[in-house]
């Protein structure tokens, strides 16, 4: 996953910095355990589109897998470990 | 343009399908599909060496009978979770299932949720790569159609390289096509490697699926906001749980009274029709009393599981888990532990069984170790007796002491959880990430099936393990007979249990127990409520423990040396002992099964008895010193 940003590209922020209704693309994750594999398998794969349904604890995101997708609730710690590129 | 080329030459197989496994993500309607396919012919088995349950059923396909296994819902085959390891183990032939013919299954049916195809295809890709004859069953097509998602069956089949069936377990539509399709299962090529799974899934999706609209579910957003709100969410949770437990405690009393009356009638019938003797006593006092005393909790168990199944199906419980997670986190327990802990106040057995919902092993076992400290309904008779002896003049103080017992039990349970999580079950708790299933109306039929299956497991246990224990205890307390068989007090003294009580008494002496109290403690090891009737039999010479006179006589009862049996110090010590001690054999049996081994049951028995003994001894010492 790229961490490089250019002047035009949106700045990479933590998922916890987004507010309700904001959409973003998942950029990278900062995990020291096997949470990453689990979240990817649940649908939070690199570059997936997210919409924040609820900010705070828990942080609820709708993951857009092309269409349909799924809704995932994350504890604040997990959400803070995910970096996203807001739209 | 799809980034990878999809295989076009699936390998046909001609192997007869005798065994098949259903795999899929959680919440995709897999178990509903299995229930519809299997009907009432299913049975529950364990994956040896694990705590996960396997559901098996023999189903009739056009090509002959097939043993179908419903594997636990998993997001992937290589994740560090029980479900993941079990699915992979079964599909590769490394994990056996009791009752499932050995080796890998002959075919696998991958259940895919039509509303979330790309995510579901990740697991499908992993399964297909194992090289088993495969079919794909697409569920939730109605929900997908509402969201504007269309799946072209022919293109999907071509892209996947195996037969595709559209079926809904809920409505039954298309389910009849699943078993014939298994006979046509094919070994497909799947993704090139684990690294290419996402590309493969995207390519399959792009070939076969189209979506007209984007999913923005405002109602779900609003419900989620309310249910996970720090104040509103907790209030909603409290209201729902109050309703749940009101139902369990109040509605269940009607069938419970009926069961009690039924067994009472049966015992009366046996006593009146059979001639006096060992057979009559064995049936009336051993078999009927023991099994009846256990089966009386059946309505609570069935109702608890029925209501939890209903709640689970609505999609609410996943939200509630987050609300409560914050409160339980300091004790090393997850939000999922709340319902089991609260259920423990009705009966530890269904509570421990419901701890299955906790995904992390360490957290699950810590919860199982904490549950039996919650004051279950079987402790109530003992609390009533001892608080009345302690405060005969003040119902107010009785109520305070009664509430204190509940607080002490809950505190000891949470203390146990912290200790366990910091020592034997040490390890970082996984941060919570849960898929929130869509909200839906619960299915009464589905919840009834779940409750019936749980109830049946309990009945089977009552008819085997509990029956055997009851008979042994009866025998120990009934033999040998005294010279005068009508002298109940003398009978309690000379019986094996009475003699054991005399021998063991020094052990319980530090907490103020004499021979008679020791017999009461020993007899109630298998079931704590036996304490009241055992004490009544020994002291008052009658087994009518419910009568007002008996309670008064117990209060005035004296030891062999003429001092009172129930001094304030002894009563406090006994009360604390019964709050904290395990005193329930069925609980230990269930712990061994659910935690995955008798070592956990032994630990639970040792720890609870030890804590109870030490606490009761301290209380006795302090209370004696104060006078």
- For residue A29, the domain's CATH number is 2.30.30.90
For residue A49, being part of any structural domain is answered with yes
What domain range includes position A76? 13-86
The pLDDT tens digits for B182-224 are 989 999 988 888 888 888 998 999 899 888 765 567 889 999 9
Q: State the average pLDDT for chain B.
A: 84
In angstroms, the CA B477 to CA B495 distance is 5
Return the pLDDT at B298.
Answer: 81
- Distance (Å, whole) CA B455 – CA B350: 9
Q: Indicate whether B598 pLDDT > 50.
A: yes
Nearest-Cα distance to chain B for A68, in Å, is: 5
Residue B432 touches partner A, C-beta closer than 8 Å? yes
Percent above pLDDT 90 for chain A = 44
Q: Are B182 and B20 in contact (CB under 8 A)?
A: yes
Structurally, chain B folds into a number of domains equal to 1
The answer to whether residue B408 scores a pLDDT higher than 50 is yes
Say yes or no for a CB contact (<8 Å) between B215 and A69: yes
CB-CB: which of A57, A65, A73 is closest to B116?
A65
For residue A4, the tally of other CB atoms under 10 A from its CB is: 6
Joined tokens for residue B241: 């749980």
Residue B273 within a domain: no
Instruction: Classify residue A60: in a domain, yes or no.
Output: yes
The average pLDDT across B232-250 equals 83
CA atoms of B393 and B567, how far apart (whole Å): 16
B177 falls within a domain: yes
User: What pLDDT, in 10s, does the model give residues B411-450?
Assistant: 999 999 999 999 999 988 777 888 898 898 888 887 888 7
Q: Which of A33, A60, A68 sits opposite B147 (nearest CB)?
A: A68
**pLDDT at residue A3, as a whole number:** 46
* Any domain includes B594: no
Q: Is A80 domain-assigned?
A: yes
Q: Are B183 and B62 in contact (CB under 8 A)?
A: yes
3-state secondary structure of B312: helix
Expressed as residue numbers, the domain containing B190 is 11-211
Q: Is residue B76 situated within a structural domain?
A: yes
CA distance A33 to chain B (A): 9
Is A5 contained in some domain? no
DSSP annotation of B527 reads B
Q: Does B431 touch chain A (CB under 8 A)?
A: yes
* CATH code at position B197: 3.40.50.300
Residue B3 pLDDT: 47
Contact B434 A37 (CB under 8 A): no
- How many domains does chain A divide into? 1
Bigger pLDDT: A24 vs B586? A24
Does residue A68 form part of some domain? yes
Q: pLDDT tens across A48-76, in order?
A: 899 999 998 889 999 975 556 889 999 88
In chain A, % helix, strand, coil (3-state, to 5) comes to 20, 35, 45
Task: Establish if B564 belongs to a structural domain.
Answer: no
Which residues does chain A have within 8 Å of residue B435's beta carbon, measured at their own beta carbons?
A: 42-43, 70-73
DSSP string computed for B575-596? HHHHHH---BHHHHHHHHHHHT
Q: Is residue A4 part of a domain?
A: no
Task: Test A68 with B80 for CB contact under 8 angstroms.
Answer: no
pLDDT greater at residue B503 or residue B455? B503
Residue B422 located in a structural domain: no
Tell whether A25 is covered by a domain.
yes
B425 near A64, Cβ under 8 Å?
no
Q: Is residue A54, in this structure, part of any structural domain at all? A: yes
For testing contact with chain B, the best of A37, A58, A63, A74 (most B CBs within 10 A): A58
Determine which helix (DSSP H) or strand (DSSP E) holds B618, and give its type and residue range: helix B598-626
**pLDDT, mean of residues B493-503:** 86
Q: What is the pLDDT of residue B372?
A: 96
- Residues, chain A: 87
Chain A residue with the nearest C-alpha to that of B213: A67
């Amino acid at each position: 996953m790229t961490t490089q940003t250019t002047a035009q590209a949106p700045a990479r922020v933590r998922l916890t910095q987004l507010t309700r209704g904001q959409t973003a693309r998942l950029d990278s994750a900062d995990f020291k355990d096997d949470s990453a594999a689990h979240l990817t398998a649940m649908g939070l794969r690199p570059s997936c589109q997210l919409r924040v349904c609820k900010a705070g604890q828990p942080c609820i995101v709708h993951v857009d897998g092309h269409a349909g997708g799924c809704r995932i609730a994350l504890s604040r710690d997990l959400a803070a470990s995910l970096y996203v590129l807001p739209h | 343009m799809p980034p990878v080329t999809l295989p076009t030459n699936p390998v046909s197989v001609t192997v007869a399908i005798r065994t098949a496994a259903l795999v899929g993500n959680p919440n995709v309607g897999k178990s509903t599909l299995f229930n519809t396919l299997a009907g009432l012919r299913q049975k529950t088995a364990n994956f040896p060496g694990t705590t996960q349950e396997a559901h098996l059923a023999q189903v009739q396909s056009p090509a002959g009978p097939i043993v179908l296994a419903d594997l636990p819902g998993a997001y992937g085959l290589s994740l560090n979770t029980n479900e993941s390891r079990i699915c992979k183990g079964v599909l590769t032939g490394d994990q056996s299932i009791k009752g499932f013919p050995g080796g890998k299954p002959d075919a696998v049916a991958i259940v895919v949720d039509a509303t979330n195809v790309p995510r579901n295809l990740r697991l499908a890709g992993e399964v297909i790569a194992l090289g088993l004859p495969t079919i794909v069953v697409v569920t939730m097509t109605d929900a997908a159609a509402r969201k504007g998602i269309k799946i072209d069956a022919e293109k999907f089949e071509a892209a996947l390289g195996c037969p595709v069936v559209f079926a809904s377990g809920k409505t039954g539509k298309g389910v009849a096509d699943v078993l014939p399709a298994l006979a046509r299962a094919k070994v497909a090529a799947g993704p090139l490697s684990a690294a290419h799974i996402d590309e493969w899934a995207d390519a399959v999706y792009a070939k076969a699926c189209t979506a007209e609209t984007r999913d923005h579910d405002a109602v779900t957003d609003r419900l989620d906001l309310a249910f996970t709100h720090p104040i509103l969410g907790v209030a909603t949770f409290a209201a729902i749980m109050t309703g749940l437990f009101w139902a369990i405690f109040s509605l269940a009393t009607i069938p419970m009274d009926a069961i009690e009356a039924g067994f009472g009638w049966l015992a009366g019938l046996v006593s009146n029709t059979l001639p006096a003797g060992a057979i009559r006593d064995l049936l009336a006092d051993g078999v009927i009393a023991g099994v009846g005393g256990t089966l009386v909790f059946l309505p609570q168990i069935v109702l608890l599981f029925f209501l939890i199944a209903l709640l689970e199906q609505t999609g609410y419980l996943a939200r509630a888990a987050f609300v409560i997670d914050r409160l339980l986190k300091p004790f090393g327990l997850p939000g999922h532990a709340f319902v089991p802990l609260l259920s423990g106040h009705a009966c530890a057995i269904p509570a421990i069984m419901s701890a299955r919902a906790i995904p992390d092993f360490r957290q699950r076992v810590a919860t199982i170790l904490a549950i039996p400290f919650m004051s279950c309904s079987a402790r109530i008779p003992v609390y009533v007796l001892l608080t009345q002896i302690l405060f005969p003049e003040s119902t107010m103080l009785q109520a305070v002491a009664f509430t204190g017992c509940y607080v002490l039990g809950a505190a000891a349970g949470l203390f146990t959880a912290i200790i366990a999580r910091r020592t034997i079950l040490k390890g970082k708790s996984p941060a919570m990430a849960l898929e929130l299933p869509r909200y839906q109306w619960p299915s009464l039929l589905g919840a009834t099936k779940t409750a019936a299956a749980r109830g049946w497991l309990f009945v089977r246990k009552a008819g085997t393990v509990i029956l055997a224990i009851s008979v042994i205890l009866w025998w120990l307390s009934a033999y040998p007979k005294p010279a005068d068989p009508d002298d109940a007090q003398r009978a309690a003294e000379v019986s094996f249990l009475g003699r054991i009580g005399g021998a063991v008494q020094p052990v319980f002496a530090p907490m103020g127990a004499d021979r008679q109290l020791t017999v009461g403690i020993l007899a109630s090891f298998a079931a704590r409520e036996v304490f009241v009737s055992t004490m009544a039999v020994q002291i008052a010479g009658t087994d009518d423990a419910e009568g007002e006179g008996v309670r008064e006589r117990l209060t005035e009862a004296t030891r062999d040396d003429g001092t009172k049996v129930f001094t304030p110090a002894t009563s406090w010590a006994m009360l604390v002992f019964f709050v904290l001690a395990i005193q329930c054999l069925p609980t230990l049996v269930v712990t061994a099964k659910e935690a995955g081994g008798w070592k956990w049951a032994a630990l639970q028995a040792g720890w609870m008895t030890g804590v109870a003994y030490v606490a009761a001894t301290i209380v006795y010492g302090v209370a004696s010193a104060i006078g």
